[in-house]
Structure 1
């Protein structure tokens, strides 16, 4: 149950009256009412918990108090150093079991753990590797040794290379290192945003030759859904540029082939796991493209959504905001659906920056002007009171990805994350993981932990978690009848979760 609007208004009027008449020593009753009013405004603050949920909430509160008083508080430490601490956390253990709803902000190239890519995909026949001049790697499946190219002068068959080594543990670990940002000393390895983003983009390029091999792609999608399901996530909206895929003989498949492969993998997974709701794709184009190229991408997305309405959710622009072109730069291309009289939902990345006052910083407002359905990251939203008010009025949820923001050096201590303000105000929020494989995670549990313990602080309670999970279905791109189905499925899982705790 949630407090009605009328009840909230009455409470607010009473609050103002109490504050106005207060003179001298404040009345403890007034203080209690103020505190209750403030708590009621936060995310989950108006969720009324059952007796069983209250017991779990009290238990979680005690656990959180213990972790916040520990010598090392995980959200205040870089995630790569905090990960072992989080894994040993009783709060994290509970969050892994909790039904988290949907993952609404994950990128295609980082959907699946790099361990699976290295220990499964690179062990398949005909997989070649090349070590580039800039200390990176490339992979390619081919029926014969690939020809040299500008970034790869010599290709080696991995099967042959491993046969010469005997024990391949160190070698495989080095491949994993090339496909992830994870390092034991992140402060030394990544002293600036430019350096961490350079490694970030290199990792995507390195993985591309594995993921875009046609026989791998369906397994890749299925495995990604499996890893989400294992983390008690029941729905996915995947951002993907739908790269062309290739066969062993060099045959190239178009984007429609990739889209159909995603559709088939999802159908198969739902058939195998009836408690999984499904998955959709948000078509993406890169910010480095020209206006004409983005215009072509928007036209393509319109056609794909027309042909695959159950699969294609909408469109987004991706890539680093600080070095990419702004939404306003692409205004002609982004106005195309309206000019054509068609609907193409937008899910814009906006405000993934700490450069306040720049043209990039204005992406937040421009995203809202272009009627974005959700805001990806929205890190800068707290600096834009008008945009914040408009997004709340339009009921536009912010996709908060705490670990991504920290690893990509927007913030050091997650207790200071701007989403803390949004959460305290009850702004529409969902929690997601952005690029989990690059950060050494799977699913949503790690990001839920950072949001619940770090960003939410001691005030965040079971009602907060409950509302965040429900939001992931409520603010999804699903049509109303499937949202109802999804919420019913989630509620059943939630009831079992509470029952198992008792």
Structure 2
């Protein structure tokens, strides 16, 4: 290839600028002047200047407990620094004040709430009990994980006669009322406060587990075995849980949600302690709670703040084929009864350790035919490519997800290794539900500057930002994930977040008219948001 030839240095600079523009032209990023309104250009400039200043003043400062902080660093370590920044204020307080909203498309319901709040819900219920596989001691307290269950009232007396979890006479795997377990927790180990810390730590992933002991796999396996779900799958808590999840999402400017619900076990525990509440009752409660929230917001004149929430019916990746077939029929029955609630179908679970999609492909093809016979439409919205692998079973899930017609792909982390698949996703409009903090905490990537999201964005792949398991990771809402994306790239600007947010509504499963109204409302709110940034941070002399 012949070398570039320049007339002079000015010609070189012109060619350099042209090459940069050509390199960025296929991108979804609307960070370039020709696609920005005047007010968006000003707001984007404001955010970039603040980001640059904070990279030096906040991320460049020294902290006694954090070695070498940097924008986009490990979230569980850098979270306390994020909270000090103006950028995060813009993404939370300013966004709330100016009513900028988006959709949340990839989140698992049983891992959405702060563990402290979930424990509070459990302590309010006399029926809720806890057990452990061995008596708790100072030596095993942070390696022994609890199991929870609501018991029938007739069993409370027996459970109340049981020793506390730290008592030397405690018999492993026997149930103790959760309030009693807390009240009787050994004072030499810290008493009730230590009990709270133990439960909250069990229901989350700490920085030590993620970055030092690399114990996240064991923790994820704990969550996937559903041993903690006894706290959630108890109708009095289920109702509170959904109410708080929807309320807190709206407060973080999430106007629409498609939440993955694992429909296992077959029955939830009811108020009487009997495990006999079928899946349709789960949806009735879900529907009732969101209707109550909509009515409340409407009374406050905030009806545009919440479009609604729908459910992606989710089965677990380790179940046998015949059990998956049962889930197909269950999902179809629920779709017929609740057409407005069931948004899609997924199979979830740690991809590196569980059967690949190819194992279920024949059954999933049958599911498509079963839907036709039942006169319903339940799109596949499949997890795929949540792996560092290249050519592994988990990585190859991307091929099956696309061939099976998945309308969106959950995570798609390894997609960047497959140029043809990227091309197909771009051509067919297959959106990738990216979960930045989840990917970093679970270690497919070590930090956000190493995340493949900008590669996919630069190649024009439709993307939306999601939080995955925010209760476990401490990134509730979407603001933390947005922050990590925004500060980890010198190219990405505020208006790139605009496209990511808009995509979240555009590629949702909302019906055509509902989607149209949601997008129109979003456009209005976005304009208010960017105008508010300029009004707040630019003075009369146009200086930030």
TM over 0.5: yes
Which residue number in structure 2 is paired with residue 31 of structure 1? 16
- Choose from 384, 387, 411 the match for 1:350: 384
**Distance of 1:369 and 1:376 partners within structure 2:** 15
CA contact (8 A) 1:129 1:137 kept: yes
Partner of 1:459, secondary structure, is: coil
Which residue number in structure 2 is paired with residue 14 of structure 1? none
Residue by residue over 1:362-406, the C-alpha shift from the partner in whole angstroms, topping out at 9 and shown as x without a partner, is 111110101101010000100011111111111001011011111
1:224 to partner: Cα distance: 0.4
CA contact (8 A) 2:361 2:400 kept: no
Which residue number in structure 1 is paired with residue 331 of structure 2? 301
**Distance of 2:210 and 2:404 partners within structure 1:** 37
Of residues 93-102 and 405-414 in structure 1, the stretch that sits farther from structure 2 once superposed is 93-102
Which residue number in structure 1 is paired with residue 485 of structure 2? 451
CA contact (8 A) 1:337 1:344 kept: no
- Choose from 18, 40, 54 the match for 2:41: 54
Which residue number in structure 1 is paired with residue 192 of structure 2? 168
Residue by residue over 1:216-243, the C-alpha shift from the partner in whole angstroms, topping out at 9 and shown as x without a partner, is 1111111101111111111110001234
**Distance of 1:88 and 1:399 partners within structure 2:** 28
Which residue number in structure 2 is paired with residue 198 of structure 1? 218
Of residues 233-242 and 294-303 in structure 1, the stretch that sits farther from structure 2 once superposed is 294-303
**Distance of 1:277 and 1:223 partners within structure 2:** 16
CA contact (8 A) 1:315 1:347 kept: yes
CA contact (8 A) 1:178 1:203 kept: no
Of residues 71-80 and 48-57 in structure 1, the stretch that sits farther from structure 2 once superposed is 71-80
Residue by residue over 1:183-220, the C-alpha shift from the partner in whole angstroms, topping out at 9 and shown as x without a partner, is 45642232xxxx31221232463431110011111111
Which residue number in structure 2 is paired with residue 114 of structure 1? 115
1:492–1:22: structure 2 CA closer, same or farther, 3 Å change rule?
same
1:187–1:365: structure 2 CA closer, same or farther, 3 Å change rule?
same
Partner of 2:105, secondary structure, is: strand
Which residue number in structure 2 is paired with residue 495 of structure 1? 527
Do structure 1's residue 370 and structure 2's residue 404 form an aligned pair? yes
1:297 to partner: Cα distance: 1.4
- Choose from 245, 252, 270 the match for 2:268: 245
Residue-pair matches, total:
476
**Distance of 1:360 and 1:375 partners within structure 2:** 13
Which residue number in structure 2 is paired with residue 9 of structure 1? none
CA contact (8 A) 2:384 2:409 kept: yes
- Choose from 223, 226, 242 the match for 2:247: 226
Partner of 1:239, secondary structure, is: strand
CA contact (8 A) 1:235 1:276 kept: yes
Which residue number in structure 2 is paired with residue 81 of structure 1? 77
- Choose from 400, 414, 417 the match for 2:451: 417
- Choose from 143, 146, 150 the match for 1:137: 146
1:85–1:138: structure 2 CA closer, same or farther, 3 Å change rule?
same
1:417 to partner: Cα distance: 1.1
1:427 to partner: Cα distance: 1.4
Of residues 373-382 and 271-280 in structure 1, the stretch that sits farther from structure 2 once superposed is 271-280
Do structure 1's residue 473 and structure 2's residue 496 form an aligned pair? no
Which residue number in structure 2 is paired with residue 209 of structure 1? 230
**Distance of 1:213 and 1:341 partners within structure 2:** 31
**Distance of 2:202 and 2:314 partners within structure 1:** 24
1:281 to partner: Cα distance: 0.3
CA contact (8 A) 1:64 1:458 kept: no
**Distance of 2:172 and 2:347 partners within structure 1:** 29
CA contact (8 A) 1:127 1:139 kept: yes
Q: What is the TM-score with the length of structure 1 in the denominator?
A: 0.89
Alignment of 1:303-322 (within 5 A): 303-322=333-352
Which residue number in structure 1 is paired with residue 318 of structure 2? 288
- Choose from 88, 92, 95 the match for 1:92: 88
1:285–1:107: structure 2 CA closer, same or farther, 3 Å change rule?
same
Residue by residue over 1:313-350, the C-alpha shift from the partner in whole angstroms, topping out at 9 and shown as x without a partner, is 11001001011111111112100133336232011100
Of residues 399-408 and 256-265 in structure 1, the stretch that sits farther from structure 2 once superposed is 256-265
Of residues 201-210 and 331-340 in structure 1, the stretch that sits farther from structure 2 once superposed is 201-210
CA contact (8 A) 1:305 1:314 kept: no
1:152 to partner: Cα distance: 5.5
Partner of 1:234, secondary structure, is: strand
Residue by residue over 1:274-304, the C-alpha shift from the partner in whole angstroms, topping out at 9 and shown as x without a partner, is 2211000000111101122212212322232
Which residue number in structure 2 is paired with residue 429 of structure 1? 463
Partner of 1:88, secondary structure, is: coil
**Distance of 1:330 and 1:413 partners within structure 2:** 33
Do structure 1's residue 156 and structure 2's residue 176 form an aligned pair? yes
**Distance of 1:475 and 1:152 partners within structure 2:** 49
1:76 to partner: Cα distance: 4.8
**Distance of 2:359 and 2:397 partners within structure 1:** 10
Gaps of 5+ in 1: 1-18
Gaps of 5+ in 2: 61-67, 135-142, 163-170, 298-302, 536-544
